[in-house]
Chains A and B, each alone.
Chain A
């Protein structure tokens, strides 16, 4: 049995949200809440889930830490290392490329002086090209946390977007409650 390294303390609001998800499943099937809980943890912990966070989740769900690790590493939405204040998830898939997604990614790389997967030196932005985000009719687009930003089809729109994001505070749904 793996040992717990360190525990993470989640806010009362986050814990309440985790317990709410657990209540959605039959007795003995609490592991089903693992993905929703990973989302809650990631939002609570600055956009990524550490090994300590995963160990804590295992305790909450009464499962082995390996069961959390193998799930967190399978799904691309969970960041396993620290990220910038804003993670720019840019859709790089076919339909968005037909409207200029490749150019959007190149423009962001130039303006932020980073490559794909990197974080800007000021810690403000991480650039993360992703596969289809279900916004094919309004590409090129990107997602930051829970919001879609669509039709970013010119350098001016990119500048406006980055300026807006620089002035946007990070609030998780749990902090807002």
Chain B
């Protein structure tokens, strides 16, 4: 078993209560940071750790923190992004549900480092049951003097609140999240100014993912240098991976970055192999927005080396032969899954979730969904494939926020790696639209 940083105590009965959490060593980082370290020292430890944002972008957390503007007399805010809405991603929901005090501890330590005296956890509105778990834990923390005025006699004060969203995927984008937190539609803001300069209520703000914030206490307790020893290269530490799709053991796994992808898929410690003894067809390794990879390319890089669960290895080869770590949402497809249908499903998602602010995204996502729908349902034309590539290209990079890219990349990648499957659908509309019909390469051509 690998090293567990975030999930070491997650199965301890009653870990969601303050009493049990503290018995497992919980809130030590608050004591250490507030009483023995300056805020800048905490920031330096996080920089040294090499911790990267676990929400999907993978930006170095310590560097992001150091960008925060610190004008006198203006409040600063830390906002936790718990809006987890990317298809395939459920690690943060699972973690908050089972270990709410770990997030609260991370929020206190991180808020101290940033000089924030009020912080917010923006959580998906769908997760009201998790909101209530968090609010119960926050009340316990207030009662124990871990939140509120003069925490543990340190002179530092912090108020922490949870705010629910309303069911919009776009609010996972940090500026849309801030708009939503201010009670508005979740339309992303133009950048600059970046939230570090003008964020929540026009004040300097850091927005971090749940998992990122939860890694901070371990770094404070054990030093950034120790954290940096875990993992490989610039992929330091551990990562929560939410595995779903056609595997025997779907769920959330904490891995040391660097585990071979093949081991992650087939080992009983993790995914436990492909469901019902079938063959692996493809994997989306980092959430629905990242490029899909066929079986051969997810297991090995183009150079024939083992593909590893690291930011660099999953991206090896760029989008020609690689993909992205993203949020760590690992979606596995067996041989019986139709790539065209799956691509249409994601296109529908992005069309539904586009906020409509930018024309390329608003119009393009709908266009892609329609074209994919007609291919899937037996009314496609050969030129539709190139049309999809063209539309995806026109969306990519031409929108205020990354939702446009997130919509375009899965379509472009599916065609890049499975073009023959799209062609087969168009050439054989009757067979392709039968329930359970799946293109199986040359075999399908022979049968046809």
Contact = CB atoms under 8 A, between A and B. Distances in A.
B124 A134 contact: yes
Given A26-B201, A35-B164, A71-B185, A136 B129 contact: no
B288 A76 contact: no
B219 interface: no
A31 B88 contact: no
Nearest to B342: A94
A98 interface: yes
Contacts of B355: 74
A138 to B, nearest CB: 7
A113 to B, nearest CB: 22
Interface string B153-166: 00000010101111
A98 B331 contact: yes
Contacts of B342: 94, 97-98
B129 A147 contact: yes
Given A71-B183, A135-B90, A95 B166 contact: no
A74 B179 CA distance: 12
Majority secondary structure, A binding face: mixed
A107 interface: no
B166 A77 contact: yes
B353 A70 contact: no
Interface in B195-211: 201
19 contacts: A35-B125, A39-B128, A67-B183, A71-B166, A71-B185, A74-B186, A75-B165, A75-B167, A93-B87, A93-B346, A94-B88, A94-B345, A95-B245, A98-B331, A131-B349, A136-B88, A136-B90, A136-B245, A146-B132
Given A24-B120, A74-B355, A76-B166, 15 more contacts: A31-B183, A32-B182, A39-B166, A74-B185, A77-B126, A78-B166, A93-B288, A95-B87, A95-B88, A131-B87, A132-B85, A132-B288, A136-B90, A143-B126, A145-B128
Interface of A: 21, 24, 26, 29, 31-36, 38-39, 61, 67, 70-71, 74-78, 92-95, 97-99, 130-139, 143, 145-148, 173
